[in-house]
Chains A and B, each alone.
Chain A
């Protein structure tokens, strides 16, 4: 049986990107109402970036799950590599959202009417921790 380590990482990473986009949409936009649909600040570049963020996030989630199902059926999944990919995807996308989209492009902020610094720090710190954990896990055991 062939073990597909690289594809396991990719499947996890796509799933992680999808999870980041999903959490952003459900938790921060819909449940907490912290994020705004569009606050009309920032340049058009932010709008385009956000459009890609949403579309890519949802498509990535679906692709990651189908890849996972395919790996399972071939018995080629490396669970550790998949989890590493998930953390890398989640952390990478969250860091991109927290730095480029929120700060550089001023698309919208994490929350309104509060001091932003603690929110920004926690948001990006969580992303960095996920990235580091993913980077540690992604190396094959014993290597």
Chain B
């Protein structure tokens, strides 16, 4: 593969980084702030996704261990950080009112609600994973570059959907409560663990172990993201009630 073609997956990431940065600048020009932590999360997310799809790592993905690292970055680490960057809130704030209304209408439309339903999220995330790794699709993807690219795109999109619903910093109409979101983390984490052990029986060796332990680290990271947001919201609630007591 030529060097130009190898760098191609970096293009959408570069576009996303440019769009995010220019939206933050637009906000800043009219005097609105944007939390630096969100920009940092987005930068880290795009950086990790770049590590996953660009050489040198991508050049070694016939090595199963390199492939597992790629998978963890594309489907877990990158998406979680992307979701913590609140891209939808940023986009809505940076748009003019008519476009903002159109985007909001789209976000609240029935197909969108179906997409963020816990069952859809699990089906796309876990279903995609099993469909790729436990069928001949995985071997075929090593021959066909377009299938390879499609699988990577699916990993990022399904992972991001899960991360947005479970731990996203963006408000989401009808987002499930904390126990349901933690249940989603456990369900997807368990499915991931089972997959790792099935691949172990197929001779994946160290790569299977890496997949299992990486998945466990992901469970912890997702749980921390969900619960730290819950803890912060509780703190705001406590401060509000303390103020009410002080003023009454």
Instruction: List A residues at the B interface (Cβ < 8 Å).
Output: 25, 37-38, 40, 47-48, 50-52, 54-56, 58-59, 61-63, 66, 69-70, 73-74
Contacts and interface: CB of A to CB of B under 8 A. Distances in A.
B209 interface: yes
Nearest to B185: A59
Contact count band on B: 20 to 34
Residue of B187, B194, B208 most packed against chain A (CB within 10 A): B194
B140 to A, nearest CB: 25
Interface of B: 182, 185-194, 197-198, 200-201, 208-209, 212, 215-216, 219-220, 223-224, 227-228, 230-231, 234-235, 238
Nearest to B217: A58
A37 to B, nearest CB: 6
Given A50-B193, A58-B220, A37 B200 contact: yes
Nearest to A65: B227
Contact of A51 (B190, B208, B223, B231): B190
A25 B219 CA distance: 15
Residue of B190, B201, B220 most packed against chain A (CB within 10 A): B190
Given A66-B231, A70-B231, A74-B238, A38 B190 contact: no
Contacts of B188: 55
B197 A66 contact: no
Contacts of A25: 216
A107 B209 CA distance: 16
